[in-house]
Amino acid sequence: MPGHDVVVTGLGLLTPAGIGAAASWAGLCAGRPTAATDPELAGVPVDFSCALPDFTPEVLLGGRLVMRTDRFVHMGLVAAREALDDAGISPADWDPQRVGVVIGVSTGSMEAWAPPFASVAAGCHEEVSPFVVTRTLPNMAAAEISIDLGAQGPSLAVGTACASGATAIGVARDLVRSGTCDIVITGGSEATRVPIVATCFGQAGALSRRGHDPAGASRPFDVHRDGFVLGEGAGVLVLERAEHARARGARAAPVGLSGRAVTPPKARIRAVLTGYGASSDAHHFAAPHPEGRGAELAMRAALRDAALAPDGIDHVNAHGTSTPRNDLAEAFALHRVFRTPPAVTANKSVFGHALGGAGAIEAVCTVLTLQEQLIPPTANLEHPDPQCDLDVVTGSPRQARVRAAMSNSFGFGGQNAVLVFQTP
């Protein structure tokens, strides 16, 4: 697709490894799993998750906003503010009609429905809060970010299950590339640590049952993997038209400065978003195509879009959920796309699975890999599955020359979204 080059100039990240991009990246590179028994899930058959540490939205955002909105909105807004600050952009300096917001969400707010359901069932309609609507609408993360920043361009919510965050970034890229926007704040956010969510995914057989060892439960590509671990968080990127970024003084950030890439100076071009591919398995409402045919289509589409041959990719940030079928299908697809798949990592081994937020979180980490020239390790890979047969980074981060990297995201319903980032 011809059009404007699209660059990444800002990053925001909230994960169970830390609040902020620097803390999250440090935890990821340390390879420390964050899963633990979760008091919020007490009494649920699968009672462990990966939770944000010390997240205080009332302090960060103010009590009034927190009261009318849900946790997925809080996380998305905090990550968006960090990303904008990281980009060195002030809303006072932009044309608000040329700034868009695109945020991916999968489940949105499930918890907020429980009290009103109970009140209506009991005939106590007057007890239903007027804020239920604004707490539950999936577009409210994008809407509140637009309101907070005064962005008057397109404001969109994207829902493609666990591919939502990556799909949102692809949609945002197209808004910039087409010339519709100069800047788009984009990513994904999800609050999953809710009993009804844990119960439903548990009943579907998607969650790990490794309750005796929560920290070891998420183990992508391990022969003993048995399901994913619920996580939560948000990842936000500032995408910008390259000419616009350079006009305000942004220049390519130096690479390979381990430990310093997530700190000032501001106005950096961190990466170029050169490829986006999307596809549908058209196979099953929940299970991936057993051979990963839809995933392969999305990877090949992203490579074509980026004008890269498969051997031009130096690293893949895998979807890697730790479910038996998904990891195997992704591995099969990788082997067909790449004769010898490049070095792979799976961030969900540390962060858990943030559903609609996962693809955006992993996109931020992929950009940081390009920036740092460092591939984070995959935790808990003790017995690699010989059927997967991938070069999965384990133990400690791997220093590597990474000029182009791919980030994979796949979701229920056969939704596939693949992003390709390159060094500037």
**Spatial separation of the C-alpha atoms in residues 130 and 123, rounded to whole Å:** 16
**Bridge partners (DSSP) listed for residue 296:** none
**Spatial separation of the C-alpha atoms in residues 139 and 253, rounded to whole Å:** 33
Task: Name residues whose C-beta falls within 8 Å of residue 265's C-beta, 6 or more positions apart in sequence.
Answer: 88
Strands 374-375 and 398-399: antiparallel
Active site residue 315: no
339 exposed, middle or buried (CB, 10 Å; 0-12, 13-18, 19+)? exposed
**Spatial separation of the C-alpha atoms in residues 231 and 233, rounded to whole Å:** 7
Query: In 3D, which of 25, 26, 6 has the Cα closest to residue 362?
Result: 25
The residue annotated as part of the active site, out of 29, 319, 365, 388, is 319
Q: Where are the alpha helices (DSSP H) in 211-290?
A: 242-247
Helix (H) or strand (E) holding 122: none
Helix (H) or strand (E) holding 192: none
The residue annotated as part of the active site, out of 74, 244, 353, 365, is 353
Largest CA distance in the chain: 63
Active site residue 353: yes
Q: How many CB atoms lie within 10 A of CB 2?
A: 5
DSSP-derived 3-state class of residue 41: helix
- Torsion of the alpha carbons at 253, 257, 258 and 259, rounded to the nearest 10: -70
**Spatial separation of the C-alpha atoms in residues 180 and 219, rounded to whole Å:** 41
Helix (H) or strand (E) holding 302: helix 293-306
**Bridge partners (DSSP) listed for residue 15:** 18
DSSP-derived 3-state class of residue 404: strand
The residue annotated as part of the active site, out of 29, 50, 162, 181, is 162
Active site positions, annotated:
162, 319, 353
